[in-house]
Amino acid sequence: MHLNRIIETCLYVQSLEKSEAFYHGKLEFPIIGKEQGRHIFFKAGTSVLLCFNAEATKNGESVPAHFGEGQMHLAFEVPKAHYEEAKDWIQSKGIKIEHEHHWHNDYYSFYFRDPDGHSVEVVPQGLWD
């Protein structure tokens, strides 16, 4: 099997409204799907970020059951030349950068938290090449 990429990433959230305010309101991700009390979906570059109310997806009425809890991690990639600009932009939105990590070959990434405490990272393109 040949895989191209991960197309969807899923987070389980306590408040769909807070997720919408953060991912759409602050990060400006377009909303591509929404069902009151169940989920909200965002376009994140060429991928999709799915935010689910875990209780609403435990039963799996239309798709297989899935749910989770706890703080998860996801990372978004930006062009390497725009890494510092992305960091400044996040801070300009009132989002606190929790940590900046030095990887290899002078690559850095930075971390912040969403309203549910999920760890969100921004990495420059080429970090894992």
| HEC letters along the chain | CCCCCCCEEEEEECCHHHHHHHHHHHCCCCEEEEECCCEEEEEECCEEEEEEEHHHHCCCCCCCCCCCCCCCEEEEEECHHHHHHHHHHHHHCCCCCCEEEECCCCCEEEEEECCCCCEEEEEECCCCC
pTM here is 0.93
Residues 128, 74 share a domain: yes
Assess if residue 65 is contained within a domain: no
**Which residues span the domain enclosing 9?**
1-59
- The pLDDT confidence band at residue 14, using thresholds 50, 70 and 90, is very high
The total number of structural domains in the chain stands at: 2
Q: Is residue 64 part of a domain?
A: no
Instruction: Tell me the pLDDT tens digit for each residue of 61-117.
Output: 778 888 899 999 999 999 999 999 999 999 999 999 999 999 988 899 999 999 999
Residue 75 counted as domain residue: yes
Q: What is the CATH number of the domain that holds 96?
A: 3.10.180.10
pLDDT confidence bin for 8, thresholds 50/70/90: very high
Residues 25 and 55 in one domain: yes
